[in-house]
Structure 1
């Protein structure tokens, strides 16, 4: 099967016509028609419905389009194997939302600047879903909060550690962390997240009977609610964010200390290891430049 013929099918779908595909590919109208016909003869299916104007993809044609896009991505990945310096091809990265603001954008921008032929797609979600998608090969790798256990077939690299603090509105009278947590409405980070489970486990292990007021899945929303005096919470000192926020008072927890670890998870035998290593180095470099808010992990690659 000629991969260029699959590119022609994609061009027809993208432009909506044979003439548009011809312009996009720099071919004649007849050459586009002949390539589609050759593919139809080889597969013994009808790709285009020629009874309409302009011709449209049939159901079989849509299937060819879907699988053709996957085949062309695989072909690009195979070609990238022999590249010694520049990284090329397409990668899909999963990230937890809390790292999208400060850590991921500069890391990806620098990676793309160094490797302009690298195509990067981002998906967001909760850590357990992202890790499952890496295992199922829906994602190449994911930046997430460290789980209790990594499933067989996956490996992780710690990017940085973020201390967890008790947070209150700036005008709440000073008190011990225990008094603050037990005597005020408590806003909990969603327990479907690993960080939320970590906080919930800490409260139980320390026998802290909090007055649960809300359960929220956004760190930014929790901090805004706390700043307006609607409760207190436990929140990570995130990489890249100012350590001092005039709206909030932060009180370190410990001992025992609480840390949220951000880790890069990938498959043991994934085809994009060179990209993962480059991203890991960039993430650690940025985490190390952001001051004392987050603590970068040592670079395991020298």
Structure 2
């Protein structure tokens, strides 16, 4: 492909995950720039300056309409996030409110186990 690759910073955890997966899948790219922020990478792609691999944030309208999204591989590379709260925190109930608020604004994710959409909550 002749489209330049806009690389997410390789020293950032997400950039490292993408780089490792590209090596594992033997994907070679012509990298023209390395950007430190997700928003910066999205802006570059939206303005026609290249293509990239970035994490999906799971919110509605997360990318401009000018960007076409394609899952990265089969199965798609996934990452799991969690909420950390000190065990004896008297405000721990607020983490449940945060989880509910996040669930309200996120789209269900596809899990590689059975392919069915679901939000994963670990108690």
TM-score range, shorter chain: 0.7 to 0.9
- Contact kept, 8 Å, 1:284 with 1:299, in 2: the verdict is no
Q: Name the CA shift for 1:219/1:233 in 2 (closer, same or farther; >3 Å).
A: same
Partners of 2:5 and 2:70 in 1: how far apart? 15
* TM superposition shift of 1:196: 1.2
Match for 2:75 among 256, 259, 265? Answer: 256
2:56 paired with 1:234: no
Look up the match of 1:280. 99
Which moved further from structure 2: 229-238 or 262-271? 262-271
2:104 paired with 1:297: no
Q: Which has the higher contact order (CA 8 A, sep 6+)?
A: 2
* TM superposition shift of 1:190: 1.6
Partners of 2:70 and 2:39 in 1: how far apart? 18
* Structure possessing the higher radius of gyration over alpha carbons: 1
- Contact kept, 8 Å, 2:108 with 2:119, in 1: the verdict is no
Partner deviation per Cα, 1:259-293 (whole Å, 9 max, x = no partner): 24332123344443222222223222332xx577x
Partners of 1:215 and 1:201 in 2: how far apart? 16
Gaps of 5+ in 1: 1-179
Q: Name the CA shift for 1:184/1:280 in 2 (closer, same or farther; >3 Å).
A: same
Aligned length: 117
Partners of 1:253 and 1:266 in 2: how far apart? 32
| TM-score normalised per structure 2 | 0.73
- Contact kept, 8 Å, 1:284 with 1:296, in 2: the verdict is no
| TM-score normalised per structure 1 | 0.34
Partner deviation per Cα, 1:118-138 (whole Å, 9 max, x = no partner): xxxxxxxxxxxxxxxxxxxxx
